[in-house]
């Protein structure tokens, strides 16, 4: 049957934003100057419709006549020196196509059989070489994991195929070598676990099906089973409680009165106001993002949104966060390990993925950070979070009852995401990007938005007994967990598919996105189905809960999986793991008086030390871990739900960064929800206990600096760690101890968390690169009155500037200042929890009492960076006096968490306001737009705000084209 082609592009008198972006990358990222112009078109193909109908769709659906032109079955751009077409690989989710098909049917065209879309790229320039086009294609246009260059027009758009038969795997007769060969590529289980599986099937006198072996592997994966966190731990020869148990017990012992649900649902839940609750979950999507950053980041956001949607009996997603760790974007290509993508490309595409999913769903992305270290060159850390609102009375899940129906809502099932759970549990190698490409998915945010709306209405009517998302492991995880206590029978032949030809086990374990599973009482089915039809959401009953304690999966009447739930969920042997951290000594400077030479400061010929110090200050502000991330933040819609109270940036020019975000989810009420976080991979490399304390203190400091009451905060942990060998596990043990100690001293509990223990790269030449260990601590809580909060920007001239908190300024290891001087150091900040907890409470009292117009916590870049950012926001200068006898550089650039820069009115008694905690009045705000630093009665240097801001804003402008 003929295929109709529609091409759409912007009018030639108008710019082509996508083409301009590609041209920018060609010149700046690849250094190719032969290309002078790039333009793009969208190509839409339709099978089964007439050319007249294709023209109708072109004019009424696909092209906007005000600024676009279109052609049917003809080129729309001609005369280019080079052109090529890029499309998704067959079977990869194309979210645009799903929307097009629905729109075509809404327009009354019923004979459409299939559709597809792609992009064409046209290049003009002098002597563009074949090698240059290949480089452009490989580095910018095509991620071979999910995309391809179209060389032959398709004869049909229909994906045909017949599902294979369910296979049997003869594990009962396998020796140990054969068991491990079976596990090697996709199961990622160890020999003991493979033997347990073997013995189970010996005991029931049969071999497993492929579906059964895959189901067990998914359920027992590190990603789903958290085997390391549940393991019996031997630390330096002494037994300690499992990591997860320690965190759970600390939360129970804290007995926080606001906690409604901790570690038992898709997200943690705390009490809000007026019968409402707020919930939070933070996830990682490191492995998928490492091989396809756009799709990986999109599905990371979509997945964590679904975690919130699947909390209790359904929650509304009200906020999103993103925390990223990359290698420097200007890292030379030759040092990137084999099989890994360049960090410049990773950063831009991950940001684009988070942007597109959150913005399209109408969820504000309003808190986050980006961190850089060369050792992330093999694999990034991509963390995404979501927060929700739901009635407190519906924050607990009910259990499915025998006879309840399992209903799947949302997207259809395809091959995307196969082995995602097991793949994410494995180390990365040079072959990961090729072997595990099927683990990547492309998200469809609009589908999830519709699904979310349908779930909220069903939840409000009390129609949902239980709900969960199809995350890692697909239906195997969702229905396997929902039916754990009761048993479930699944009918795979009822599952809506994207295309035919999937094997039963592939349907069962596919991680196709935008799918939610509901347990619904039979008498509520008709109403739930009516709600789904109203929102244009596909809903299908695919299973029923039985009461027999078994997982029975059928396909066309054949049993493809029949497992005892007790074995599936409790048969995994508890690991016994050895842990012993070995401290690595990092060089400290021989003298505490580091003075950069002119070359280190990047200032060429220098005639006096004052100039050197100005250049050092500018270098600190332009460091990748300090510089402004505004070009990233501005692509996210952080005000979309109309709830923003404290956005990411405020101040005179709206460029002063805030420490936390505050939203008002009940629009007619004064109540606020506050969100913040903290992490520092460099400090974790130096000392995992003190680095982890720093992360927790930094997370809470960010919230308290904005006005939060520390008694109204709860925490989320995310451990992103190298593969848990003995040394890395020893570091992880210390990190968990730090979290437990933090809870014990402050009373702030962890109520949700996640571990991702696969951040190790193994090269084919035997090289091993451990990605820096990351503990990200996220904070969310409630605020009774959003008017009693503050932003970071200075409000007045003549105000006093006060430094709060205990610092030992010689503890400089891991600081930006040390990094610029070429050191890591070992003497990192060591925080006294008892003292910092008191600082939190005293500062909150001062802010809530109205005495503090502005507050900013001290983190990367130290006091100097915090001071500059407050000045940027307020467009005022500052005059600072360093106490006599202190090392000026250490005083300015020490990065001890739990310390604050505070603005208070001139004449206010700081001693009375901050009684009982360390404080020091260090200066005042001034009209002159500069930062003047005085020491022992003389001026050390005086640097203009404009030069500091230029240094601070430039790095990300160089990565993200404005």
Q: Which two tokens stand for residue 459?
A: 């939840």
Residue 421 has pLDDT above 90, yes or no: no
Residue 944 has pLDDT above 80, yes or no: yes
| Chain segment 749-793, per-residue pLDDT in tens | 999 999 999 889 988 888 889 999 999 999 999 999 999 999 999
Cβ neighbours, 10 Å, residue 957? 14
Classify strands 760-762 and 768-770 as parallel, antiparallel or unpaired.
Answer: antiparallel
Work out the average pLDDT over 692-718: 98
Kindly state the average pLDDT of the residues 166-180: 95
Average pLDDT over residues 5-29: 92
- Region of poorest pLDDT, from 205-214, 288-297, 341-350, 473-482: 288-297
The domain that holds 72 is classified in CATH as 3.30.1280.10
For residue 255, the model assigns a pLDDT of 97
- Exposure b/e, 935-946, CB count within 10 A at least 16 = b: beeeebbbbebe
Q: Which residue has the tokens 């939070």?
A: 280
Q: Which residue has the higher pLDDT, 160 or 276?
A: 276
Q: Is the separation of the CB atoms in 250 and 740 below 8 Å?
A: yes
135 and 42 together in one domain: yes
What's the mean pLDDT when you consider all of the chain?
92
* Residues with a known catalytic role: 223, 285
- Of residues 107, 28, 43, the one with CA closest to residue 75: 43
Q: Same domain for 144 and 177?
A: no
**pLDDT confidence of residue 596:** 54
What value does the mean pLDDT take over residues 819-824?
A: 95
Instruction: Tell me the two tokens of residue 583.
Output: 């401290």
And the tokens for 115? 């559709």
User: Has residue 605 got a pLDDT over 50?
Assistant: no
For residue 309, the tally of other CB atoms under 10 A from its CB is 26
E strands in 647-693: 649-650, 656-657, 661-663, 672-678
pLDDT given at position 43: 97
Q: Which pTM value belongs to this model?
A: 0.92
User: What's the CATH number where 841 sits?
Assistant: 3.90.650.10
Say if residue 90 is in the same domain as residue 210.
Answer: no
Sheet containing strand 428-429, edge to edge, reads 428-429, 760-762, 768-770
- Average pLDDT, integer, range 11-34: 90
Judge whether 42 lies within some domain: yes
Question: Domain check: are 83 and 219 in the same one?
Answer: no
Count of Cβ atoms closer than 10 Å to residue 131 Cβ: 9
What average pLDDT does this structure show over 412-441? 53
pLDDT at 494 over 90: yes
Q: What is the DSSP string of 124-161?
A: EESS--HHHHHHHIIIII--TTTEEE--S--S------
b/e string for 233-248 if b means 16 or more Cβ within 10 A? bbbeeeebebbbebbb
pLDDT at position 597 over 70:
no
**Domain span at 215:** 173-228
Q: What integer is the mean pLDDT of 128-154?
A: 89
10 Å CB burial of residue 366 (0-12, 13-18, 19+) is: buried
Residue 933: strand pairing partners = 880, 941
177 and 141 co-located in one domain: no
370-395 per-residue burial string, b: 16 or more CB within 10 A, e: under 16: bbbbebbbbbbbbbbbbbbbbbbebb
> 203 in a domain, yes or no?
yes
Q: Where is the domain boundary, 228, 245, 261? A: 228
Please give the pLDDT value at position 435: 38
Residue 85 domain flag? yes
Does residue 665 carry a pLDDT above 80? yes
Q: What tens digit of pLDDT does each residue of 95-105 get? A: 788 789 989 99
The answer on 143 and 26 residing in a single domain is yes
Give yes or no for residue 246 having a pLDDT over 50. yes
- pLDDT, position 848: 97
Residue 430 has pLDDT above 50, yes or no: no
Least confident of 607-616, 844-853, 874-883: 607-616
Domain assignment present for residue 785? The answer is no
Beta bridge partners of 676: 779
- Do 120 and 220 belong together in one domain? no
Instruction: Give the model's confidence band at 608: pLDDT under 50 very low, under 70 low, under 90 confident, else very high.
Output: low
Which residues belong to the annotated binding site? 281, 283, 306-307, 441, 469, 511-513, 717, 753, 756
Cβ proximity of 385 and 519 under 8 Å:
no
Q: Percent helix, strand and coil across the chain, each rounded to 5?
A: 35, 25, 40
Confidence of residue 59 (pLDDT cuts 50, 70, 90): very high
Instruction: Give residues with Cβ within 8 angstroms of 184, minimum separation 6.
Output: none
pLDDT value for 922: 98
Q: Would you say residue 14 lies in a domain? A: yes
- Range scoring the smallest mean pLDDT among 399-408, 569-578, 603-612, 711-720: 603-612
Contact call for residues 363 and 642 (beta carbons, < 8 A)? no
Alpha-carbon span 300 to 717, nearest angstrom? 17
Q: What average pLDDT score do residues 495-500 get?
A: 88
**DSSP symbols for 381-396:** EEEEEEEEEEEGGGSS
DSSP codes of every residue in 289-309? HHH-HHHHHHHHHHHHHHHHH
Q: Which of 437-446, 483-492, 867-876 has the lowest mean pLDDT?
A: 437-446
- Per-residue pLDDT, 500: 84
Among 228, 253, 270, identify where a domain stops. Answer: 228
Q: Are residues 78 and 181 in the same domain?
A: no
Tell me the residue ranges of DSSP E strands in 521-648.
539-545, 550-555, 558-564, 576-579, 644-646
**Residue 434, both tokens:** 């090729």
**Residue 29's pLDDT band (boundaries 50, 70, 90)?**
confident
Q: Which of 98, 115, 149 is the last residue of a domain?
A: 149
Which three-class secondary structure state does DSSP give residue 876? coil
Tokens 């304390």 locate to 693
**Is residue 835 situated within a structural domain?**
yes
Contact 800, 866 (CB under 8 A): no
**Is 772 inside a domain boundary?**
no
Contact at 8 Å (CB) between 217 and 189? yes
| Binding positions for Mg(2+) | 283, 307, 469
What average pLDDT does the segment 642-660 reach? 97
List 37's β-bridge partners, or say none: 124
| Average pLDDT of span 355-373 | 97
**DSSP-derived 3-state class of residue 183:** helix
Local structure of 286: helix, strand or coil:
helix
The annotated binding site for substrate is made up of 306, 441, 511-513, 756
On whether both 190 and 63 belong to a single domain, the answer is no
User: Sign of dihedral through CA atoms 547, 548, 551, 554?
Assistant: negative
Across the range 832-844, mean pLDDT stands at 98
Count CB-CB contacts under 10 A for residue 699.
27
Residue 425 has pLDDT above 60, yes or no: no
CA Rg value for the chain: 29
Higher pLDDT, 417 or 366: 366
- Cβ–Cβ under 8 Å, residues 439 and 419: yes
pLDDT bracket for residue 433 (50, 70, 90)? very low
What tokens does 779 get?
């904070």
Strand partners, 233: 240, 577
- Residue 288's pLDDT is what? 82
Q: What angle do CA 297, 437, 307 make, to 5 degrees?
A: 40
Q: How many domains does the chain fold into?
A: 3
Q: Are residues 207 and 103 in the same domain?
A: no
> In terms of domains, do 796 and 905 share one?
yes
Q: Are residues 10 and 141 in the same domain?
A: yes
Q: Which two tokens stand for residue 250?
A: 């600390």
Domain membership flag for residue 552: no
Residue 423 confidence class, pLDDT cut points 50, 70, 90: very low
């Amino acid at each position: 049957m003929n295929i109709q082609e529609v091409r759409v592009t912007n009018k030639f008198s108008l710019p082509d934003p996508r083409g301009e972006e590609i041209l920018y990358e060609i010149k700046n990222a690849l250094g190719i100057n032969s290309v002078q112009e790039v333009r793009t078109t969208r190509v839409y193909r339709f099978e089964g419709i007439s050319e007249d109908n294709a023209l109708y769709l072109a004019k009424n659906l696909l092209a906007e006549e005000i600024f676009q032109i279109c052609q049917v079955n003809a080129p729309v751009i001609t005369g280019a020196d080079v052109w090529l077409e890029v499309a998704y690989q067959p079977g990869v989710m194309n979210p645009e196509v799903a929307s097009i098909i629905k729109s075509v049917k809404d327009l009354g065209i019923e004979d459409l059989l299939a559709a597809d879309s792609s992009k064409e790229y046209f290049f003009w320039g002098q002597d563009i070489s074949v090698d240059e086009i290949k480089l452009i294609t490989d580095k910018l246009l095509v991620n071979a994991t999910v995309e391809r260059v179209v060389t032959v027009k398709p004869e049909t758009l229909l994906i045909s195929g017949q599902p294979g038969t369910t296979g049997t795997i003869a594990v009962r007769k396998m020796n140990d070598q054969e068991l491990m060969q079976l596990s090697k590529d996709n199961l990622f289980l160890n020999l003991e676990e493979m033997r347990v599986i073997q013995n189970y099937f010996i005991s029931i006198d049969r071999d497993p099906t492929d579906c059964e072996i895959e189901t067990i592997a998914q359920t027992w994966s590190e990603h789903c089973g958290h085997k390391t966190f549940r393991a019996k731990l031997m630390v330096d020869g002494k037994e300690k409680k499992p990591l997860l148990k320690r965190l759970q017990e600390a939360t129970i012992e804290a007995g926080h009165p606001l906690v409604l649900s901790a570690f038992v649902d898709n997200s943690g839940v705390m009490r809000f106001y007026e019968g409402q609750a707020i919930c939070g979950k933070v996830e990682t999507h490191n492995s998928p993002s490492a091989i396809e950053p756009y799709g990986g980041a999109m599905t990371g956001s979509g997945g964590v949104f679904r975690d919130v949607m699947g909390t209790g009996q359904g929650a509304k997603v009200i906020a999103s966060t993103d925390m990223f760790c990359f290698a420097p974007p200007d890292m030379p290509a030759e040092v990137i390990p084999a099989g890994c993508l360049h960090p410049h490309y990773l950063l831009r595409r991950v940001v684009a993925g988070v942007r597109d999913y959150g913005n399209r769903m109408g969820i504000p992305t309003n808190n986050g950070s980006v961190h850089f270290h060369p050792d992330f060159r093999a694999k990034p850390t991509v963390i995404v979070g979501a927060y929700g609102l739901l009635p407190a009375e519906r924050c607990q899940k009910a259990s499915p009852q025998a006879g309840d129906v399992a209903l799947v809502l949302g997207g259809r099932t395809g091959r995307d995401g196969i082995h995602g759970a097991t793949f994410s549990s494995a180390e990365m190698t040079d072959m990961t990007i090729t072997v595990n490409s099927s683990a990547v998915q492309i998200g469809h945010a609009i589908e999830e938005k519709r699904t979310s709306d349908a779930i909220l209405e069903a939840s409000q009517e009390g129609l949902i007994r239980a709900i969960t998302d199809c995350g890692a492991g697909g239906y195997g995880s969702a229905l396997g967990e929902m039916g754990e206590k009761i048993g479930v029978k699944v009918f795979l032949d009822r599952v809506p598919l994207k295309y035919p030809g999937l094997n039963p086990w592939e349907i069962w374990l596919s991680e196709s996105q935008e799918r939610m599973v509901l347990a619904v009482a039979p008498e509520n089915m008709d109403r739930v189905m009516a709600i789904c039809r109203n929102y244009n959401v596909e809903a299908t009953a695919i299973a029923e809960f039985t009461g027999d304690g078994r997982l029975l999966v059928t396909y066309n009447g054949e049993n493809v999986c029949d497992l005892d739930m007790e074995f599936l969920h409790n048969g995994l042997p508890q690991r016994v793991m050895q842990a012993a951290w070995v401290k690595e000594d990092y060089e400290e400077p021989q003298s505490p008086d580091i003075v950069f030479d002119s070359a280190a400061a990047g200032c060429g010929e220098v005639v006096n030390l004052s100039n050197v110090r100005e250049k050092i200050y500018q270098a600190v502000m332009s460091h990748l871990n300090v510089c402004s991330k505004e070009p990233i933040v501005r692509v996210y819609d952080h005000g979309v739900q109309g709830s923003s109270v404290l956005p990411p940036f405020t101040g005179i020019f709206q460029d002063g960064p805030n420490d936390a975000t505050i939203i008002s989810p009940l629009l007619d009420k004064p109540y606020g929800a506050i969100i913040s976080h903290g992490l520092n991979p460099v400090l974790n490399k130096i000392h995992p206990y003190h680095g982890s304390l720093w992360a927790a203190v930094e997370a809470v400091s960010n919230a308290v600096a904005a006005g939060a009451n520390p008694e109204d905060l709860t925490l989320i942990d995310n451990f992103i760690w190298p593969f848990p060998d003995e040394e890395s596990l020893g570091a992880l043990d210390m990190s968990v101890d730090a979290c437990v100690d933090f809870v014990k001293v402050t009373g702030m509990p962890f109520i949700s968390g996640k571990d991702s223990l696969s951040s190790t790269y193994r090269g084919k030449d035997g090289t091993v690169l451990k990605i820096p260990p990351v503990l990200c601590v996220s904070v969310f809580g409630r605020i009774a009155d959003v008017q009693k909060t503050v932003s970071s920007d200075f409000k007045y001239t003549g105000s006093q500037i006060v430094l709060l908190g205990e610092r030992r300024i010689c503890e400089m290891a891991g600081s930006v200042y040390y990094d610029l001087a070429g050191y890591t150091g070992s003497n990192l900040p060591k925080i006294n929890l008892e003292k910092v907890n008191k600082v939190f409470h005293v500062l909150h009292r001062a802010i809530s009492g109205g005495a503090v117009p502005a507050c900013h916590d001290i983190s990367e870049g130290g006091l100097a960076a915090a001071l500059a950012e407050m000045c940027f926001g307020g467009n005022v200068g500052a005059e600072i006096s360093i106490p006599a006898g202190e090392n000026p550089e250490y005083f300015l650039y020490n990065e001890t968490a739990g310390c604050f820069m505070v603005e208070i009115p001139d004449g206010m008694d700081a001693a009375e306001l901050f009684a009982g905690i360390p404080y020091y009045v260090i200066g005042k705000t001034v009209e002159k737009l500069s930062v003047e630093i005085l020491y022992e009665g003389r001026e050390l240097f005086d640097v203009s705000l404009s030069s500091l801001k230029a240094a601070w804003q430039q790095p990300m402008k160089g990565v993200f084209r404005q």
